């Protein structure tokens, strides 16, 4: 797992053809605000989270975020145990994100 700043994440998302942006917060949090083109897989629902991980393409690069950076670190660690090695964590999460957001 590699920690990324906001600037590094924006650069990766613009230039990485294998980028997959993953939001690991709850549905309620996601509905309030999320980074465009992110996919929600709620880590607080362990059964569905683990099932979703089984279906992820291991060849992609996963950029993971949560609200503050704690759940995303946990998610990255779990993803590694599933053989998903290209995982990147957004430092500070969406709470410190100054980039574009979808807000409901």
Domain ranges of the chain: 2-99
CA–CA distances in Å: residue 10 to residues 26, 27, 49, 83: 23, 23, 25, 25
Q: Which helix (H) or strand (E) holds 7?
A: helix 6-15
Domain at 2-99, CATH homologous superfamily: Rhodanese-like domain (3.40.250.10)
With H, G, I as helix, E, B as strand and everything else as coil, classify residue 39: strand
What is the pLDDT, as a whole number, of residue 91? 97
- Name beta bridge partners: 2: 88
Is this model's pTM higher than 0.85 or not?
Answer: yes
pLDDT digits (tens, 9 = 90+) for 25-47: 999 999 999 999 999 999 999 99
């Amino acid at each position: 797992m590699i920690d990324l700043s906001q600037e590094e994440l924006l650069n990766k998302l613009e230039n990485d053809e294998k980028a997959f942006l993953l939001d690991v917060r709850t549905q309620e949090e996601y509905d309030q605000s999320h980074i465009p083109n992110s996919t929600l897989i709620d880590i607080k629902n362990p059964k569905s989270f683990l099932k979703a991980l089984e279906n992820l393409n291991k060849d992609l690069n996963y950029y993971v975020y949560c609200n503050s950076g704690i759940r995303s670190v946990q998610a990255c660690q779990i993803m590694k145990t599933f053989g998903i090695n290209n995982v990147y964590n957004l430092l500070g999460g969406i709470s410190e994100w100054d980039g574009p957001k979808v807000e409901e």
